Amino acid sequence: MGLWQYGKTPGDVLAPLVEKSSVVVAAASDTESIFGITADNYADLAKLMKQRFPKMKIMLASRRTSVSADHNTLSGILWNGNEVIESRTHDIDNIVDRIGSGDSFISGFIYGHFNNYSHQDKIDFAAAAAVLKHSIEGDHNLASVTEIRNLMSGETGGRVKR
């Protein structure tokens, strides 16, 4: 028994919501499986989504590669209506808990958005928040804004300051 049991396809349920959204969180696998929209790169994908959903101004996603169960890489990608902006790729070794990292990514983006960060800083903050969540047990990200900003600026010396 699957999680989706609404009597309609995900696209039938989500399309009316996305039609009203200015920010859409979607990876290529999401746009393909939900809306049947595919492209060779994220910029073209976002443009096709914009054609289907004209109110969309920003599309973003995290990108994860699983090297092993406790070793991943993670980055963020954002289309701002004109260009694609990417965060650096973070190498996450010795993962403590990955649950909640997606929520941390989105909340990091929201924090950056409401604090008037540049698009580059929004995606960098989102990715850094998600990365730090991997070092924290439980669903909630307990990293501070300072810790996230330190990671954004390249401080990766392995010392968490709490």
Q: Write out pLDDT tens, residues 38-76.
A: 999 999 999 999 999 999 999 999 999 999 999 999 999
Tens of pLDDT, residues 110-153: 999 999 999 999 999 999 999 999 999 999 999 999 999 999 98
CA distance 104 to 71: 18
Res 155: pLDDT: 79
CA dihedral 10→39→43→32, nearest 10 degrees, is 10
What are 131's two structure tokens?
């990365």
Q: What is the mean pLDDT of the segment spanning 92-107?
A: 93
130: three-class secondary structure by DSSP: helix
Contact (Cβ atoms closer than 8 angstroms) between residue 111 and residue 98: no
Cα(28)–Cα(138) distance, integer angstroms: 28
pLDDT grade for 158, boundaries at 50, 70 and 90: low
